[in-house]
Structure 1
Amino acid sequence: MKYIHILLSCVVALASTQFINAQQTPAPQQTETISIVGATAHIGNTDVVENSVVVFEDGKITYVGTDTSQAKGKTIDANGKHVYPGFIAPNATLGLVEIDAVAATDDKDEMGKMLPHVRSLIAYNAESQVVESMRPNGVLMGQITPQGGRISGTSSIVQFDAWNWEDAVIKENDAIHLNWPNGFSRSGSWYDTDRVWEKNKEYTQEIDEVVAYFKNAEAYVPGSKEKDLEFEAMDGLFDGSKGLFIHVDGEKEIKDVISFKRKMDLNRVTIVGGYHAYKVAADLKANGISVLIQRTHLNPNFEDDDYDLPYKLPKLLSDAGVLVALEGSGRMERMNSRNLPFYAGTAAAFGVDKELALQMITLNTAKILGMEDQIGSLEVGKDATLFISEGDALDMRGNILTKAFIQGRDISLETHQTELYKRYSKKYED
């Protein structure tokens, strides 16, 4: 009986903790017109408007310019500040894992090899405290992406202020994610000093399996009497209504991806990671393949790489005319997704024009996701998903948000982290 009482006490304590630290109530729908006046507006397409007027109503932007007579409704004086479109975190597992050490909170992957029918969206936890912590840095939307297997599953696009996944989704089932076979692998564990690269003897066979699977999916007729959930999920890849995101890094593997795209006559293909994509940039451009480049805050993968290769990859690819956006997968990806603007800031520090670096986490990302008509820039008719910052949002010192809106809704910028910051700042001030 004593153990039962202890167990009940733990459950009550845990429940109380979760209640105290629960996400804020999502903001209500926009009911009055809002005008942001006086800010420097970073449009997201490399344009900048000084002393701007940004007006939005019913969740949509209705005016962007300098004519102050267009301001109406509730006016926000943003003189000396900056207004940006909401940043978009692609290839993220936000909301799919809350605590890595607790298996019951981990929904980022499933058992199996070919899993196009696995939809990350239905496992998305809109009330995740990790998701909530994105907003104070201006990361207001994300592509929620499954992992694991050869085909991981289907991603969806969400906004980060909702009760549940149904309310959060802004584009459902946007892309299939394929982990391309590796031509080489490294022996031993990461801490071994004598690790060597070994050739994957089954590489060609693994590619053949992928090609055969895609051909069978293309031949499948949706709605067939004998329904195949896997092939049903692949519908849309071959007419371009759904994207194919191929996770690949090596030069040879990327060349094989280009050949695969041509062989399967695929319209929308994006490389994710793309560490050696700069070596075949001309071929990527010629074949209309975009790149979600790995996070810039990484060390080089190889001893003979330039020390700053990860920092300058965005410039190398964009200078070659490739459509480039930034993603943040890797160790502690979910927590580090809040650093997305600073990845762009690093790209700017290593040669990318500052406004183009901004575009790599806004409009370019929206284009790759097939959502450029709805999000990604401050333009009339698009969602009023934007924020006001005291300074340069791509700089840690200037990224200080004073207001943020998702689809016109005035959202909270408070999180568990900001609460702790205020609590302990006051403690040490006293």
Structure 2
Amino acid sequence: MNILGVSALVLGLAVFAAHALRLGEAGLCEAVLSLLGLLVSRRRFAPYILGPAVLLAGLLLAGAARDFIGFRLATGLPWLRLASIMAGVVAVCLGGGLWALSVRAAGFFGRGGDRPVPQAAAFWLAAGLLSVARAKVAFPILLADRFFPGWGWLEIALLGFYAAWLVGRMLAAPRWGVVRSRYWAAFSLVFFAQLGLGLAGATVFLMTGALHLPVPALIVAGPLYRGEGLFMPILYLSTLLLVGPGWCSHLCYIGAADDACARLGRKVPRRLWRGLPFLRAATLALAVGLALGLRLAGVGTEAAAWWAALFGIVGLGVMATASRRTGVMVHCAAYCPIGLVGNVLGRLSPWRVRMGPGCDACGRCATACRYLALTPQDLARGRPGLSCTLCGDCVGACGKGVMGYRFPGLSPETARRAYCTLVVALHAVFLGVARI
């Protein structure tokens, strides 16, 4: 039975790949064939990708069969043999897809950990969002399409595989803070490497060719100064609805540098930081007031850019000095105004981190937190403070396992897996499309 199931999977993918190639979609053909690597790997999450993929291929082939038969009927050409062949192909896809999702297939795909559903969900979420972005944006948003038109599909598949692999790594790590820090840093390096190449003359690496400063405060201040340009605010708010303030600990292109600086230092006693996070309210007021003031004063774009650059340079100085010296992410927790916006509006998202019954306020979670979100007062209340970014470092640090993610209707462990899946999928999407 396994031989028949595997054969149906291979045949279904091969036929759809040939169909894509016939349509001139070489990139889609290669993306489909890349799925065969999952069959060879026999990872536990593979059938949750292969099954839906082959079923979707069967559905698309059925649509193509309808068009082919309709054309032959309209032109008076023979159609019965074509209908029989296409029905057989669709039946093979249906059989292969259903087998992949069966109990018997679970015995064939037995390698890997116990996280197949989150890994497959990360693949489909990343691939789905990237596919929508590719279809809706008027210009080639994926780099593969810019260098090799039509090959964006292969990039989508590879980023989906990456998301699935990374979710497995994250959920397998006793403390996922190190893994998070590394993939966050990798995203930041890719982001700024593309900016550097664009500034050096390789404009293909830029999103549109219209440069703007990579200062997070401009997400708010930029539209206020220009009176237009709501793409970044809308993208930012959409992310907050999906993962809450997780933007600041997983997706921000600047925050990774603050994280790296903080990890190089040793933390100072918490009492020195009392009230410091409220400085962000002052920097937010400064950014908003400065943007509106420059606009009302009629200050030109070049002069306004210098003010924005100065704001960003001061932020880098805070990272290199205060964060490096104290082991706390001072830039993110006390300087960056967009972080305060994320903390406040992130409450619209239902995701939370909470302490359950049995917490003895030992302080291990506070030691792991670099966002000043777990003061003694926060521990007494049983929940992190306003500056929490849902990074999850405290969850792995809790010796009693009472610190965890919360989402209505889900257990803490299920909520942890679901949040990890969601934020990693968004990371993979941002890795593919986030450019200046």
Q: Which has the higher helix share?
A: 2
TM-score (norm 2): 0.29
Which structure has the greater CA radius of gyration?
2
TM-score (norm 1): 0.29
